[in-house]
Amino acid sequence: MNAGAGAADRGRVPATRPEGFGPPDALRTIVTHPRATMRWLLDHGDGGLWAWLFAGALVALAAPMAIDAAQAFARPPLTLSAPWFVIGFTVALCAIAAFCFLLGAAIAARVLGGVGRPGETVRAIAWGGLPLVAVLPFVLASGFFDPARTPVLVALLRLLVFVAALASCAIALFTFAEAQRFSWRRSAAALFLAVILAYVFGLIAWPLLPFLLFVLTGGVGS
C-alpha cells in the first residue's frame, strides 16, 4: 500500500477479515458474525441473492399495511373480490419509501465519512433484512385470518413481524457499518439520519402521488 492510500484510510475501521473465515454459510453467519460475513460477501459477491432478500424484506414490511387496507374493503379477507388496487398502491408507496431511505443512507454515509459505494450500501441493508424474509410466510398467512374472529392469532403474527424488524435493524447496523468501514455507533447515526432524509424526500415526492394513482388506474376514462 502506498503512502497516499494509507493516508486515505487513516481514521477508518479496517476491513473485517478474521483469520480462518472462509466462504461463509452466509444465511446463518450474517446473524452470528454480521461484519465478517458482510465483508466476505462484498469481496466475493453473493450471486445476486441480495436482490431477493431486499424484495422479500420490502414485501414483509408492506404486507401488513396492504392486508389491513384490503381487509377494510373485503370480507372474507383476501378473496378474489379483495381490492387488489389498494394492495398494489400500498406496496408502491412502500417501494418509494424504501428508495428514499436507501438514497438517504447513501448520502448520510458519505457525510459521516463512509467509503461504501451505493451498490454496497444497498447490499448491506438488503442482507440486514434477512429476519424479515424469514417471517414472510407468517406475514402472508395473517391475511387469511379475520382480526375480528381471531384477534390473538393475528396479533401474535404481527408481533413476530415486529421482532423480526428489530432483528433486521440490529443486523443492518453492523452490515452497513462494514460496508462503510466505520464503527457501529457511526452506523447508527447514519441510519438515523437516513430516516430523517427519507422523510424529507417523501415530502418532496408527495405531490407526485396523484400521478402514480393516474398511472395505476390506467388514466381517466379507460
Cell digits of residue 120: 454496497
pLDDT at 23: 56
Q: What is the pLDDT along the chain (222 residues), one digit of tens a residue?
A: 444 444 444 456 666 666 555 556 888 889 999 999 999 999 888 889 999 999 999 999 888 888 777 777 665 554 444 566 677 777 878 888 899 999 999 999 999 999 999 999 999 999 999 999 999 998 888 877 777 788 888 888 888 989 999 999 999 999 999 999 999 999 999 999 999 999 888 787 777 666 666 665 555 444
Residue 97's nearest CA partner among 221, 211, 171, 204 is 204
Q: How many separate domains does the chain show?
A: 1
Residue 197 resides in a domain: yes
Residue 45 resides in a domain: no
Positive or negative torsion for Cα 112, 114, 120, 124: negative
Q: 187 phi and psi, to 5 degrees?
A: -65, -45
pLDDT at 90: 79
- Which tens digits make up the pLDDT trace of 150-198? 888 888 888 898 999 999 999 999 999 999 999 999 999 999 999 999 9
Cell digits of residue 39: 465483508
User: Alpha-carbon distance 89 to 74, whole Å?
Assistant: 16
First-to-last alpha carbon distance for the chain, in angstroms, is 63
Give the pTM: 0.78
Residue 22 resides in a domain: no
- Domain span including residue 180: 50-216
pLDDT at 17: 61
pLDDT at 220: 45
Positive or negative torsion for Cα 45, 190, 91, 78: positive
Residue 95 resides in a domain: yes
Residue 60 resides in a domain: yes
Residue 30 resides in a domain: no
User: Alpha-carbon distance 73 to 152, whole Å?
Assistant: 21
Residue 59 resides in a domain: yes
Residue 9 resides in a domain: no
pLDDT at 138: 87
